[in-house]
Amino acid sequence: MARFRWHAIMSRMQHEKDRTVLSLKTAILATVLVAVLGFGAGFFAGHSAFVQAGVLSGGVPSGVDLDPLWKAWEILDDNFVPDAVSTSTPLATTTAELNEQKVYGMISGLAASLHDPYTFFLPPVENTQFAEDMSGAFEGVGMEIDVKKGVLTVVSPLKGTPSERAGMKAGDVILKIDDVSTEGMDVTTAVKRIRGPKGTVVALTVFRLGWSESRVIEITRDVISIPIVNTTVREDGIFVIQVATFTANAPDLFRDALREFVKSGKTKLILDLRGNPGGYLDGAVNMGSWFLPLGAVIVTEDYAGHVPNVVHRSLGYDIFNDNLKMVVLVDKGSASASEILAGALRTHGVAKIVGTNTFGKGVVQELFPITEDTSLKVTVARWLTPDGKKIPHDGIVPDVMSTTTEELIKEKKDVQMERAAEVINKM
């Protein structure tokens, strides 16, 4: 079935691991904002290659008048009287704390002025939550959200989480969080309102395509432990690997799943990326490398001329021969790193894609440390598939379209999986 050079591959993987390609300083983020999980499943290099001419390192950009800013600062210092009733932010109790809050507010406003939902500031609490989320365990409702076409939208509820049990679906529009309207709300603010301790309840006012009016869905928060990789063997002999998200340990778990696949002696593989919102880009590159020859392009980061594009290529594990029959299963909850992996496998002729259009997130973020406990996440580039195409806003179109309904899901009839099986059996 496979010319399985396992020991050589394991040695090469250990070498790659020793290079810490997924270290905190060098990891690449390829994700929709993992907003209710946290603030993004992964992050970018800690240095910036985008210091423009005319900007003084550590100083004021040339030609920029900051006098109005300092005037506003002084006016607030002299006149502002806080109202403990109207604010949702803990009030500063010292001058130093108040000044820190104002500095954080200025950075947040600077990021918000770019009108990019993926560019925002992470103050200490949110920065810590971001790091916690990457461990794969946290307290919340367990779904991904994003601002899409100006509205707060569910990217994907994760399997087995409170959001899925409550009936949330990919594509749901969140109109209110508790009694607060989400109109004009950014993802960071939404996250703060939706997240919370285990056992507490959040009420979401939701509208779904096909509904005549919105509905209120109450979700009890819980500890979320993400099942990253799951394997099953269907009765018809097709091996299925489901990847829920691209966390730091996903490549190792995927390797173990492939070991199971090889030991099973099966030749047909369905890679289920439905509901996978993305994560570390290195995870997508690593997983794709099991099926692609050394040097094959998996994805390119297009920096629009700011700096040279960065091409991410297969590490060349390439353990399978032409006997492998493979389908990648996707839906509108498949985003970013999922889209990168699915697109690469199709472009190189390894797999067909079955399901519905993917989410359509083709932008790259980099996480820049501001202080020891704060960061700034910035959109710095766009993803290009191996054939040089941008991931469209409407998502990647599958080779074979297969949709499902709420009724079928309730009846636990996975028609998309069955369609994928039909396709693979004809390959």
Nearest to 262 by CA among 346, 315, 320: 320
pLDDT for 48:
34
The pLDDT score that the predictor gives to residue 20 is 28
pLDDT exceeds cutoff 80 at 372: yes
Nearest to 161 by CA among 136, 134, 187: 136
Report the candidate in 237, 220, 37 with the shortest Cα–Cα distance to residue 126: 37
Predicted confidence (pLDDT) per residue in 84-141, tens digit: 544 445 556 788 888 999 999 999 999 999 999 889 999 998 888 777 666 666 789 9
Question: Can you name the residues that pair with 122 across neighbouring β-strands?
Answer: 375
Give the ranges where 294-414 is alpha helix by DSSP (H): 337-347, 406-410
Q: How many helices (H) and strands (E) does the chain have?
A: 11, 21
Assess contact for 147 and 134: CB atoms under 8 A. no
Residue 34, pLDDT > 50, answer: no
Amino acid making up residue 417: M
The pair phi, psi for residue 110, each rounded to 5°, is -60, -45
Distance CA 384, CA 390 (A): 5
Facing residues of 121 across strands? 376
pLDDT in tens, 253-285: 999 999 999 999 999 999 999 999 888 899 999
> What Cα–Cα distance (Å) separates residue 57 from each residue in 48, 51, 53, 120, 233?
12, 8, 10, 21, 57
Instruction: Report d(CA 239, CA 250) in Å as an integer.
Output: 18
**8 Å CB contact between 188 and 39:** yes
* Axis-axis angle for helices 250-264, 281-289 (nearest 10): 20
Per residue in 314-371, pLDDT (tens digit) is 999 999 988 999 999 999 999 999 999 999 999 999 999 999 999 998 888 888 999 9
* Cβ-based neighbours of 173, under 8 Å, separated by 6 or more: 151, 152, 153, 154, 206, 207, 208
Which DSSP string corresponds to 79-138? H----TTT-SSPPP-SHHHHHHHHHHHHHHHHHHTT--TT-EEE-HHHHHHHHHHTTTEE
Give the distance from CA 351 to its chain's centroid: 23
Residue 201: C-alpha distances to residues 141, 154, 157, 285 (Å): 9, 18, 17, 38
Domain annotation for the chain: domains and CATH numbers? 137-225 (2.30.42.10), 227-362+381-425 (3.90.226.10)
Which percentage of the chain shows pLDDT scores above 70?
82
Tell me, rounded to whole angstroms, the distance of Cα 234 from its chain centroid: 29
Residues 6+ apart with CB under 8 A from 407: none
**Mean pLDDT, rounded, of the chain:** 84
Q: So what's the pLDDT on residue 233? A: 96
Coil/strand/helix, residue 230? strand
H helices present in 162-271, as ranges = 162-165, 187-194, 250-264
Which residues, 6+ apart, have CB-to-CB distance to 89 below 8 Å? 101
